[in-house]
Structures are given as C-alpha cells and as structure tokens.
Amino acid sequence: MKTDVKVPAVGESITEATIGSWNKKSGEFVKRNDVLLLLETDKASVEVVAENEGVITIQAEAGQTVKIGATVATIDSDAKATATAPAAGASKAATPAPSTGPAPAPVAPSQPPPTVSAAPSAPSGGNTPFSPAVQKIVTERNIDTSGMVGTGKDGRLTKGDLLSTPAKPAKPAAPAAEPMFAKSSGPTVQGEKKIVPMTTIRKRIAQRLVESQQSTATLTTFNEIDMTRINEIRAKYKDKFKEKYGISLGMMGLFTKASIEALKAMPAVNAYVVGDALEYHNYYNIGIAVSTERGLMVPVIKNADQMSVPQIELSIRDFAMKARDGKIGVDDLAGGTFSITNGGVFGSLLSTPILNTPQAAILGMHKTEDRAVVINGKVEVRPMMYVALSYDHRLIDGKEAVTFLVKIKEGIEDPERLLIEI
C-alpha cells in the first residue's frame, strides 16, 4: 500500500517551504520515524519523518520550493528496496530554486548543486540517522562511525559517544547547517566581485527588517546602568548557582526580571498595534535574540513572569542549544510580546535595535565597560552599561519609554526591588 509524504503545516503564516536536503534516496527502504528530509522555512528548519515503513519514491528534489500540503514522496509498504543508503545524506537534485543559495560558479547539468544536510543517514550497515549535533561532530572530527553502537534510543549515536573518540585529520566536508549566505568556490582575486544568493531564511530576515522600518514610527531612547551590584551578586553566588542548577549565573535572567517589572508599570510597551486598535497583553512572553550561523532568531520564553531567574536562565540555555543544533521550531518563535537583544556579547558599546514586529519595543543591552562617573560628588570608576529602548511611537510616548528604561535601571542597580516587585 502506498502512502503520501506531504509537506506539513509549520506555522499559521507559512504557505511554502524549501527542501533543504533528503536523507533518503528513491528506492531505499525506510523505517517508521526515520528522518526523510529537512525542510527550510522562512523561520526555522523542520525535519519530516516517515509515518510508516516501506520503499520511498521521491517526487520533489532538494532545492525545490513546495507548497504546504504538497506531496513530495510516496512510501510503498509492499515494494522491495532498490537503493542503498546515501553516503552524503542528500538526493541528486535538479537545478534549485534561487532561495536555496547555490554557489555562483556555473554548475554542469549533470552535477548536483551544493545542498545542506542537517541529519544525514548513518554509515553503511546502519539505518539510524544522525542528529544535526552528532553529524556536526562527525564532520568536524572526521570520525569513522562504522561499527559504532550508540547509547541513545535504537542505538543512535549521541554527542557523548563521539566526544571521547579521537579526531582524525580534517578533510573537506559540507557544513552541518546552511550558512547565512551561500558560499562560492574558487579563489578570490583582489578587485573581483561575487554575486552570492541569499538563503531562504536570510531573505525572510531582510524582508521583515524592511517591513519593520517601513510600518512603524520607531524611535530609540538611551540610559546607562551601574553594574556594580549585579557584578557583586554574580561573583558572590556564581559557584553555588552553577553547582545547584548546572549553568552559569548570567545577566539575561536578571534583565528579563527587570524588564517584566518595567512592563507591568508601562503596559503600552507590552502591546501591539492592530490596525486602528491597540492590543494589550496581561502576560509576558519575552523574546531573547539568539545569533546563529543561519541568521538572527528570537525564541520566546512564554509566561516569563511566572518563572524564577534560574528557570529563565535554563530556558535561555536550552534555546541556545536548539539554535546551535538547528532545532528551533516555529512554535519557539511565536507569541512574543517584548524582546531583548544583547549586542554586548560581541563587543557592541551602543546600538539602536530594530523592532521585532508586531511587538512595540525591544531592549538593547551592550558591553559593560569601566568608566569614570560622579557618585555623591566624587569621581569614581564604575562598570557601566549603555541600554537602549527602540519603541513604536504610534502607541508609546517618550515619557513612557524613558520611564520604562528608568525602571530597568532601578531594578538592576538595586536588585532588592526585583524581590519585592517595586
């Protein structure tokens, strides 16, 4: 009996996706829950798994853009396999759509275009696919996995299984995740120019940024925060915190808590503009900007006001790991009411963040630097951070924006305020 493999619904606003790579070949036998292909949407990557076992026949090639609900393959439970597992985890493809970002150098018709595989199949002798994280380690360390039995479910290899395996001399290999821009081959000559197509996600990021600038009345206000108390708390409790929770005590959890108290005081900063109306939210879903090789993503911590600082820090750590492994899902990115971005981790001293529409505001954190400031009439050297609030002036007035940043400043400089919520 034949069953169709269809492109699943991956979000309310998403109507199409691009086939990033196939993990199986036409004529190959697949098992239930095997990863068949990786879909690239304008927000995240999605793995499509087999719902039953049988022989797969592929009907849409890697690089092709397909509509949600379209049939891309069939699985025949009565047929016999005619192909073995692919060595590189991607089927031979026709000329891809421009959004997949092929190299600009001419490619012969018979040569498959460069594709990206986030979860290639196991080596010959096994039918269990690698996860993107495992495949990355295999590629980077050039590990021969033939004959290895993993400790994961169904004998899957885990990161722990591989990290103790000695690395071999590196050899050229495809990256484990699609880069922000497609790479071109061949040396670059001074004065030469290259045309490198955008990837699907990068095109969508560019589109959303332009839409944000064109559809909002964005202003940015600034303040600076004395980080002395926060640094003292982190230094005093960092060891006990890590011992109990297994993570470092960072600044994001505390800034998130301070932001929530500021949002409670200034509800307009937590609202949307919807047509000619204002939509206020009595909940606090905080987006945390995460930079990945594929571009900037903003996963959302749902109901962050009901979480402790350790729970927020653990959520941020989990999102960072999912982003690194290409596992951020559409649901992870939806529903945010306010966002925080920390350019300070890259050394940024000051910036004007762009709104993550339909949200009305975004907080920008920056690098902490020792600066001379006047304290009680005396010049002292203190660790200072500039903070920025970009906001939509259509619903947030200057007084509200400035007051919001002052509330953040008070919460960080006097952390006891966060405990008693004032």
Chain centroid to CA 392 = 25
**Where would I find the beta strands (DSSP E) of 330-377?**
338-342, 361-365, 368-375
139 and 131 Cβ atoms separated by less than 8 Å = no
Report the half-sphere exposure of 16 (CA within 13 A, side-chain side).
Answer: 10
Is residue 281 annotated as part of the catalytic site, yes or no?
A: no
Report the half-sphere exposure of 61 (CA within 13 A, side-chain side).
Answer: 12
CA distances from 285 to 265, 282, 324, 332 (A): 16, 10, 22, 11
Of the spans 67-71, 107-111, 129-133, which averages the highest pLDDT?
Answer: 67-71
The pair of structure tokens assigned to 91 is 């089927």
Distance in angstroms (rounded) separating the CA atoms of residues 128 and 134: 12
Distance in angstroms (rounded) separating the CA atoms of residues 344 and 230: 16
pLDDT, tens only, 219-237: 999 999 999 999 999 999 9
- pLDDT at position 24 over 60: yes
Is residue 366 annotated as part of the catalytic site, yes or no?
A: no
Q: Which CATH number fits domain 2-163: 2.40.30.10, 3.20.20.120, 2.40.50.100, 3.30.420.40?
A: 2.40.50.100
- pLDDT at position 403 over 90: yes
Report the half-sphere exposure of 83 (CA within 13 A, side-chain side).
Answer: 17
CATH code, residues 216-420: 3.30.559.10
Distance in angstroms (rounded) separating the CA atoms of residues 25 and 18: 18
- Domain ranges in the chain are 2-163, 216-420
Residue of 144, 331, 397, 414 marked active site: 397
- The model's pTM is 0.64
Report the half-sphere exposure of 214 (CA within 13 A, side-chain side).
Answer: 6
Residue of 239, 370, 393, 414 marked active site: 393
What is the pLDDT at residue 410? 95
Distance in angstroms (rounded) separating the CA atoms of residues 220 and 114: 42
Kindly state the average pLDDT of the residues 274-299.
Answer: 89
Distance in angstroms (rounded) separating the CA atoms of residues 40 and 386: 37
